[in-house]
Amino acid sequence: MRADALRNRERLVEVAQSAFANNGIETSLEEIARQAGVGIGTLYRRFPRREDLIAAVLAERYLKLTECALTLAQHREDADTALTQWLTLLVEHMAIYRGLSLAVKEAIHDQSTALGRTCKEMMDAATALLERGQSQGTFRTDVNFYDVMSLCSGIVTAVERRAEKRADSDVPPVDPYLLLDVVLKGLRSGVVGGGAGG
Amino acid sequence: MRADALRNRERLVEVAQSAFANNGIETSLEEIARQAGVGIGTLYRRFPRREDLIAAVLAERYLKLTECALTLAQHREDADTALTQWLTLLVEHMAIYRGLSLAVKEAIHDQSTALGRTCKEMMDAATALLERGQSQGTFRTDVNFYDVMSLCSGIVTAVERRAEKRADSDVPPVDPYLLLDVVLKGLRSGVVGGGAGG
DNA sequence: CGCTAAACGGAGTTAGCCTCCGCTTTTTGC
DNA sequence: GCAAAAAGCGGAGGCTAACTCCGTTTAGCG
């Protein structure tokens, strides 16, 4: 890769990072290119899809989450605590850019996108946490990790929306940790078999 | 309202209904106007925002959900069963148009939109179901109805995404009833105080 | 220095949202 | 019935943002 290309790439990721943080993940790509001082063509050559840019921005963060999951899996202690800790991190991570939780949910099953592939590794590592708990009888066995991710993504989306409307009316604040607690409580095995028939 | 205006209005709602069902809620408004045989200006005069059209399409359905909530609230029997039944209906309802769950989540706090106002009545009726259960000790008292709606919306979003990608890879199907069961289980009081610290 | 592949960048195309306003149809008053 | 007025129609046009294409520029190498 040529030196100027590398420089531009880095600059784009840098600008995108702060643009996503300020304006959400839907920030105009032309705006990002302008701020980075490159042409729109340059941005598209390097990041053909918006997700590719998102994936680049998130790369380190995902790596950290993956490592964290691996570490938690190795310390073969309390499976409940392990999953709780990791999901807490995940929820905090997904709340960083407005719109991110949805983008992740979109990409989660799609190995053809950079975001999807990056996600995959992390998912694999974290899946182990759930499955360990399941084999120990800590968590109910009829849910898979996609289900858990989906619920967490729902939590983050709720927080995002609520934050946007905060100026409005009498909207109460939402506590992601509370919602996560509800989900985790629902995941624990206890007396299995709730009531929602299907 | 003039007769021709009423006719056009009905035609638009009719076309929008099937367009939303086939292409999701983000279908181009110009496409809807074209199919209805009216100009784009006519559509916008009657439905200034996309949400107004959505609200019109959903009006009857919301009314049914509201009535259902009221009925369930009056039969002062099992609060758990009541909420379970209603949320099951809700989830089924929100899965009808791709993107609807998000639109509802967007509008839920915004009384300035038609969708928000229609939602409000339904929410008020359903909130009673949760609160009855809470005062009876059936459900944990630290969550409000917005929280429950948010989690349900997350479930539906997951189902929508999964359905879109079904052609892909080895994606397992998702069961909304299962996820709803997880949420409901998490809502039941039992020994309150899970583990997700904040 | 000079050559070449790589990279650049922005003009141009497409698509959808939304507004504005001259024209048409319905309704109303007589 | 008929004409005036009110209501409604519809699409041209402005706008923004995604995305493509290709002539121009430049880094890197010998």
- Chain B contact present for A146, CB below 8 A: yes
B37 and B117 together in one domain: no
Q: Residues B85, B72: contact at Cβ < 8 Å?
A: yes
Helix %, strand %, coil % of chain B (to 5): 70, 0, 30
User: Domain check: are A157 and A95 in the same one?
Assistant: yes
Task: From B75, B86, B92, select the one nearest B122 (Cα to Cα).
Answer: B86
* Ranges of chain B whose pLDDT falls below 50: 191-198
Whether B198 and chain A come into contact, CB under 8 Å, resolves to yes
By residue range, what is the domain housing residue A21?
Answer: 1-48
B3 in contact with chain A, both atoms CB, cutoff 8 A:
no
Domain co-membership, B80 together with B167: yes
Q: Is residue A151 part of a domain?
A: yes
Q: Which nucleotides of C are covered by protein (CB under 7 A)?
A: 6-12, 15-21, 25-27
Q: Name the DSSP class of A138.
A: S
In a domain, A192, yes or no: no
Q: Do B197 and A177 touch (CB under 8 A)?
A: yes
In a domain, A79, yes or no: yes
- How many domains does chain B fold into? 2
Domain co-membership, A62 together with A37:
no
Q: Identify the pLDDT of residue B131.
A: 97
Contact B174 A102 (CB under 8 A): no
Four-point Cα dihedral B124, B130, B132, B138, nearest 10: 180
Q: Encoding tokens for residue B176?
A: 């909304």
pLDDT recorded at residue A108: 87
CA dist., res. A29 & res. A22, Å (int)? 14
Residues B121 and B150 placed together within one structural domain of the fold: yes
User: Domain end: A48, A70, A85, which one?
Assistant: A48
Q: Sign (positive/negative) of CA torsion B5, B7, B8, B12?
A: positive
**pLDDT of the residue at A112:** 85
Query: Cβ distance A183 to A102 under 8 Å?
Result: no
Q: Is B191 left (phi over 0), alpha (psi -120 to 50) or beta?
A: beta
A4 exposure class (CB count in 10 Å sphere: 0-12, 13-18, 19+): exposed
List CB contacts of A190: < 8 A, sequence separation 6 or more.
B185, B190
Q: Which of B72, B91, B109 to mutate to test the interface with A (most CBs of A within 10 A)?
A: B109
Distance CA A108, CA A133 (A): 22
- The CATH code of the domain that includes B6 is 1.10.10.60
For residue B127, with 0-12 CB atoms within 10 Å meaning exposed, 13-18 middle and 19 or more buried, which class applies?
middle
A67 shares a domain with A102: yes
Q: Please indicate, yes or no, if residue A196 is contained in any of the structural domains.
A: no
Beta-carbon separation of A80 and B178 below 8 A = no
Query: Could you tell me if A162 and A66 lie in one domain?
Result: yes
**Cβ contacts, strand C, under 7 angstroms:** A 1-2, 4-5, 7-8, 37-42, 44-46; B 2-4, 26, 28-31, 40-41, 44-45, 48-50
In a domain, B194, yes or no: no
Nucleotide nearest to B26 (CA to C1'): C16
In the prediction, which pLDDT does A80 show? 97
| A70 touches B: beta carbon within 8 Å | no
Query: Is B22 part of a structural domain of the chain?
Result: yes
Whole-angstrom distance, CA of residue B32 vs CA of residue B39: 10
Instruction: State whether the beta carbon of B66 lies below 7 angstroms from any atom of strand D.
Output: no
Between CA B6 and CA A38 the distance in angstroms is 52
Chain D positions within 7 A of any protein Cβ atom are 7-13, 16-22, 26-28
Residues B20 and B93 in one domain: no
Check if B181 contacts A (Cβ < 8 Å): yes
Q: What is the pLDDT of residue A194?
A: 41
Same domain assignment for residues A100 and A130? yes
Q: What is the DSSP letter of B172?
A: P
Both tokens of residue B163?
Answer: 């359905």
In a domain, A195, yes or no: no
Residues of A with CB below 8 A from B161's CB? Answer: 105-106, 108-109
* Nearest-10 crossing angle of helices A50-74, A29-36: 90
In terms of Cα–Cα distance, which of A155, A156, A146 is closest to B183? A155
Q: Which of B12, B29, B48 is the last residue of a domain?
A: B48
Size of interface A-B (CB pairs under 8 A): 174
The verdict on a CB contact (< 8 Å) between A195 and B181 is yes
CA distance B107 to A117: 33
| CATH code for position A96 | 1.10.357.10
Are A196 and B180 within 8 A, CB to CB? yes
Are both A133 and A61 inside the same structural domain? yes
Nearest-CA residue relative to C1' of C9: A39
Q: Quote the minimal CA–CA distance from B135 to chain A in Å.
A: 18
Kindly state whether B165 is in contact with chain A, defined as any CB-CB distance less than 8 angstroms.
Answer: yes
Contacts of A105 (CB under 8 A, 6+ apart): A149, A150, A153, B157, B158, B161
For residue B186, say whether its CB is under 7 Å from any atom of strand D.
no
Protein CA at B119 to nucleotide C1' at C24, angstroms: 38
Q: Tell me the pLDDT tens digit for each residue of B63-108.
A: 999 999 999 999 877 999 999 999 999 999 999 999 999 999 988 8
Q: What is the predicted pLDDT for the residue at B112?
A: 85
Which residues of chain A have a pLDDT value below 50?
192-198
Q: Helix or strand or coil: residue A139? A: strand
Q: Please check whether residues A170 and A122 belong to one and the same domain.
A: yes
> Are residues B81 and B31 both part of a single domain?
no
Q: A195 vs B184: CB contact, 8 Å cut-off?
A: yes
Per the domain annotation, does B89 fall within a domain? yes
Closest Cβ opposite residue A196 in set B144, B158, B181: B181
